[in-house]
C-alpha cells in the first residue's frame, strides 16, 4: 500500500471511506470521464486496499453521481451571496458527500456527517472553508424533517 495515497492512516475505516469518496468526487469534477465504474475501480486499486474495504466509498460515489443535480440544487439554494461557480472545488466535493449522506443515508445522524465533513476539511481546506462548510451544512439541517442527533431509521 502506498501510504501517500491514504489520507490519514490513523482515521477510522468509515472516515477513510468518506475521504476516499471526497477525493474521487473532487478528481472527477476536474476530469470527468465516460466510464465512472472503471475510474472508481482504478482509484481504489491505487489506494492499495481491496474493494471491500472501500465499499462505503463506492456506495457514496455512486449515489453522489446519481443525485448530483439534486445535491447541487440544494447547495445553490443555501449559499448566500455566493455564486455556485465560485465555491472552491474541495469545498464543493465535501458538501456533495455530506449532503448526500444527510439526505439519503438515514441511518447516520446528521451531526455525525457534519462532524466528519469538518474533520476531513482540516486536511484539505482552510479555516474559512470550515466555517463556510459548517454554515451551509447547518442550513441543510434546518431544512430536514429528521432528528439531527440520531438516525432517522
pLDDT at res. 53: 93
C-alpha to C-alpha distances, 104 to 35, 45, 142, nearest whole angstrom: 24, 27, 16
Let me know if domain 3-143 sits in CATH 1.10.940.10: yes
pLDDT for 3 equals: 43
Q: What is the pTM of this model?
A: 0.90
Residue ranges covered by each domain of the chain: 3-143
User: 47-61 burial by CB neighbour count: b if 16+ within 10 A, else e?
Assistant: beeeeeebebbbebb
Residue 98's pLDDT is 98
Going residue by residue through the chain (153 aa), what tens digit of pLDDT does each one get? 344 456 677 889 999 999 999 999 999 998 888 899 999 999 999 988 888 999 999 999 999 999 999 999 999 999 977 788 899 999 999 999 999 999 999 999 999 999 999 999 998 888 788 999 999 999 999 988 777 777 777
Amino acid at each position: 500500500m502506498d501510504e501517500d495515497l491514504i489520507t490519514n492512516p490513523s482515521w477510522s475505516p468509515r472516515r477513510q471511506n468518506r475521504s476516499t469518496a471526497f477525493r474521487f468526487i473532487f478528481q472527477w469534477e476536474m476530469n470527468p470521464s465516460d466510464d465512472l465504474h472503471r475510474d472508481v475501480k482504478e482509484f481504489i486499486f491505487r489506494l492499495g486496499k481491496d474493494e471491500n474495504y472501500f465499499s462505503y466509498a463506492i456506495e457514496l460515489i455512486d449515489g453522489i453521481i446519481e443525485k448530483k443535480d439534486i445535491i447541487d440544487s440544494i447547495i445553490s439554494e443555501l449559499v448566500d451571496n455566493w455564486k455556485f461557480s465560485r465555491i472552491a472545488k474541495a469545498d464543493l466535493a465535501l458538501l456533495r458527500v455530506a449532503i448526500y449522506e444527510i439526505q439519503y443515508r438515514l441511518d447516520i445522524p446528521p451531526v455525525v456527517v457534519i462532524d466528519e465533513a469538518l474533520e476531513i476539511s482540516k486536511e484539505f481546506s482552510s479555516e474559512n472553508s470550515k466555517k463556510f462548510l459548517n454554515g451551509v451544512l447547518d442550513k441543510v439541517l434546518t431544512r430536514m424533517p429528521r432528528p439531527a442527533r440520531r438516525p432517522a431509521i
